[in-house]
Structure 1
Amino acid sequence: MDRFKLRKAEPKDVPDILRLIKELAKYEDMEDQVILTEKDLLEDGFGDHPFYHCLVAEDPSEQSPVVIGFAMYYFTYDPWIGKLLYLEDFFVMKEYRGFGIGSEILKLLSHTAVKSRCSSMHFIVAEGNQASIEFYKRRGAADLSLEEGWRLFKIDKSSLLKMSSAEE
């Protein structure tokens, strides 16, 4: 399709990546939880040891190409099944949905996972995001929270600081 182009993100894309992260957070009614800065994204995603990888989708039809979607991912390791690709964030702007952009991004991520010998791709989806849940299920995704009973937890920074400085 000539309507969009997928490519690996570059440092110049950081402002657009942050814009799309904020749009995704707003879509999920969590806009106030985005504390990341462009500086964080630049330092953490580009350089010798990036913490994440990112694909961007561009609309090349504009005078200056516009970033209209992104997928942020990283590789991790599960001691039961080995390497896996973890899809952290995935978003396409509302006005560009329905053109197959999301499907092409997921196809490219699947190719990346297979090429990297990953056993699977993992991700979380907000419980109320039925459109995304159905999107993934149509492509063979299994809901582990229902099928295997896994629950997601987090330890926030203040608790990490408290534990790290606790006397042993």
Structure 2
Amino acid sequence: MANFVIRSATPADCSDILRLIKELAKYEEMEEQVVLTEKGFSIVGFAMYYFTYDPWIGKLLYLEDFFVMNEFRGFGIGSEILKNLSQVAVKCRCSSMHFLVAEWNEPSIQFYKRRGASDLSSEEGWRLFKIDKEYLVKMAAEE
């Protein structure tokens, strides 16, 4: 098994995290949508999450982004990151972990399903929507 360390990010990791975000966007064929700029260990993966609250089920961990560089997949790094996130969720008394996966991303879908994930879009019929900033500004200015 490959040697790796799972740890919390520090401000010194910003350039590596931005590099991984850009690599994730490239993998998802959405490079042009990354507008962030940059303000020992070689970082080869990351998970970005936050806590939120669902009035029906309580506190949950929302996994915003999760990525391991292609050449480092298959060594158990992703499984360890997900295990670490699960430990954080349990310790913080979350009732579940939620995340999105692109429909075309079958390897990731299978990765999560093997670990007990449920596909809410097919099981519960939920659809994802977004309101872009221009429309948020427009609505915010309405009287």
- Count of residues paired in the alignment: 143
Runs of 4+ in 1 over 3 A off after TM superposition: none
- Distance in 2, matches of 1:97 and 1:114, equals 26
- How far apart, in 2, do the equivalents of 1:143 and 1:33 lie? 26
Superposition map of 1:11-160 within 5 A = 11-39=11-39, 64-160=40-136
- Structure 1 counterpart of 2:139: 163
Give 5+ residue unaligned stretches, structure 2.
Answer: none
Q: Distance in 1 between matches of 2:142 and 2:35?
A: 27
SS in 1 for 2:137: helix
Quote the Cα distance in structure 2 between the aligned partners of 1:82 and 1:37. 34
The alpha carbon displacement at 1:15 in A equals 0.6
Q: Which runs of 5+ in 1 are unaligned?
A: 40-63
Look up the equivalent residue of 2:13 and give its one-letter code.
D
1:162 & 1:38 partners in 2: Cα distance? 30
- TM value normalised by structure 2: 0.97
CA distance in 1, matches of 2:17, 2:38: 9
1:66 partner SS? coil
Query: 1:65 corresponds to which letter in structure 2?
Result: F
Query: In structure 2, what residue type is equivalent to 1:77?
Result: Y
Identity %: 75
For residues 69 and 148 of structure 1, what CA distance do their matches in structure 2 show? Answer: 31
- TM-score w.r.t. structure 1 length? 0.83
Distance (Å, rounded) in 1 between the aligned partners of 2:54 and 2:94 = 10
Amino acid at match of 2:44: I
Kindly report the root-mean-square deviation, in angstroms, between the aligned alpha carbons of the 2 structures: 0.9
More strand by share: 1
